Amino acid sequence: MNSPKQFADFSNRRRQLGASRETMAAGLSVQLDTVKAIEDGVACDREQHWYDIWLGRIEGWPTNIRARQFHVAGQGHRFDIEDQE
């Protein structure tokens, strides 16, 4: 089971990346309430694990790719996983 520290870590990691919850929701093509539930620690383990994997992917993107992805997500579009170069 995940600890409260891990839930806080999700939101801290997201903020360090420079993304809002709204950006993450759009980029991941989920409802804002889903991101809130994950970060608040009330989502199921599967959703938390999935979000953790996505945060790891995003952390691995070069800064310019991350900025482009967040810009597109800020306009309500899903992250483009093919856009990694």
Q: Tell me the pTM.
A: 0.86
Count CB-CB contacts under 10 A for residue 61: 17
Domain contains 47: yes
Domain contains 43: yes
Domain contains 68: yes
Give the chain's mean pLDDT: 90
Range(s) of the domain holding residue 55: 4-74
Q: Encode pLDDT of 57-74 as tens digits.
A: 999 999 999 999 999 999
Q: Which two tokens stand for residue 74?
A: 């800020």
Domain contains 14: yes
The answer, yes or no, to whether residue 8 has pLDDT greater than 80, is no
Count CB-CB contacts under 10 A for residue 37: 18
Domain contains 29: yes
- The total number of structural domains in the chain stands at 1
Domain contains 84: no
* Alpha-helix runs per DSSP H in 4-44: 4-17, 21-28, 32-40
DSSP label at residue 82: T
Domain contains 80: no
